[in-house]
Amino acid sequence: MITRRQTLLAGAGTAVFARSALAQEARELRIAVQFGITYLPLTVMREQKLIEREARALGLPEPNLTWVQVSGGAAMNDALLSGGLDIASAGIPPVVLLWARSRANLRVHAISSLVAAPLWLNTRNPAVQTIRDFTQADRIALPAVRVSFQAITLQMAAEQAFGAGQHARLDPLTVSLPHPDATAALLGGRTEITAHFGNPPFQNQQLQQPGIRRVLSSYEVTGGPHSVTLLYATQRWRDANPRTLRALLNAQAAANAWIIANPRAAAELYVRAERASQTVEFIEELIRHPDHRFTSAPEGVTRFAEFQHRTGQVPVRMAGWQELFFPEAHAWAGS
């Protein structure tokens, strides 16, 4: 027979175990961001200390956050693999690539999407009307050659323009540059950079200068809306930090809701925090644009995964978008 004393001792043991489990969650949290308003939810989470707030609400000790600026999916993946990051952020293709390559060890998965938005390829070369017009004299700047969201989208466009097996035709023309540097190079006109596959607000800022025009939109290439940026981490980190992950997701939901309800304040926060060269009015207009959707649910993941698998870049065929994501996201209306 189980006595009352045994029951009390068992309860005490459970409480100690629960406190121990909480104590084991990492007190340090290193999150990487890139450039542009496609990372705005992270900027809001950082400036308003939303992760810290949500951690306290879940009874966790307030984590010590480090925000790291990284440019390009390749550098982001390297930082995550080397243990320099806990949470990475990049476009769909780099995440799909790392998911496929880490299935036998680190088991990297996506956590959430940050925003759905179209990305534009702009040029200052008057001879370029479509991607068929690029020549060896052109150089196309993007965050990371052959890996970034923009690089894979350019490959998809090349296959559509030149035919099957021609997806890498424009790869030799691409160069890796952070969006701010690529914008400066394109607008300055004194470098070899004649085009930039960017993201908002840089792509929109470029079109304000005479002589710069859009060659294509990623929405045209993929046939509809898609997420731009995903948050992702290793299985080990997720398993060791379930409540920290919940605090992160709650913080992102709060950031998204605040951005949607307060586009002017969100624009002011972005310009101030990022020391942006664009005006508050300019950023506010982009936040309000119906093409820009701040939501955690992913869109268009399978389009990129299918292309990467079909062209031999990813050896594993993804069964569905949920396979890329941790279970916490599976109930969302994603695609």
pLDDT digits (tens, 9 = 90+) for 256-290: 999 999 999 999 999 999 999 999 999 999 999 99
- In this structure, are residues 211 and 45 in contact, taking their beta carbons and an 8 Å threshold? no
Distance of CA 255 to the CA centre of its chain: 15
- In this structure, are residues 251 and 50 in contact, taking their beta carbons and an 8 Å threshold? yes
Asked whether residue 138 carries a pLDDT value surpassing 80, the answer given is yes
Q: What's the pLDDT score for residue 19?
A: 44
213-217 sheet: strands from edge to edge:
174-176, 140-142, 195-197, 120-123, 213-217
Helix (H, G, I), strand (E, B) or coil at 234: strand
pLDDT digits (tens, 9 = 90+) for 192-237: 999 999 999 999 999 999 999 999 999 999 999 999 999 999 999 9
Q: What's the pLDDT score for residue 303?
A: 96
Q: What proportion of the chain, given as a percentage, has pLDDT over 70?
A: 93
Q: What's the pLDDT score for residue 60?
A: 95
Residue 158 pLDDT level (bands cut at 50, 70, 90): very high
Average pLDDT of span 285-305: 96
CA angle 124, 199, 208 (to 5 degrees): 45
What is this structure's pTM? 0.90
CA distances from 148 to 71, 234, 293, 314 (A): 10, 19, 21, 14
Asked whether residue 121 carries a pLDDT value surpassing 50, the answer given is yes
Average pLDDT of span 308-332: 96
Q: Concatenated DSSP letters for 52-95?
A: HHHHHHTTPPPPEEEEEE--SHHHHHHHHHTTS-SBEEEEHHHH
Q: What's the pLDDT score for residue 5?
A: 38
Asked whether residue 9 carries a pLDDT value surpassing 70, the answer given is no
**Lookup: tokens for 241:** 């930090």
Average pLDDT of span 238-246: 97
- In this structure, are residues 287 and 37 in contact, taking their beta carbons and an 8 Å threshold? yes
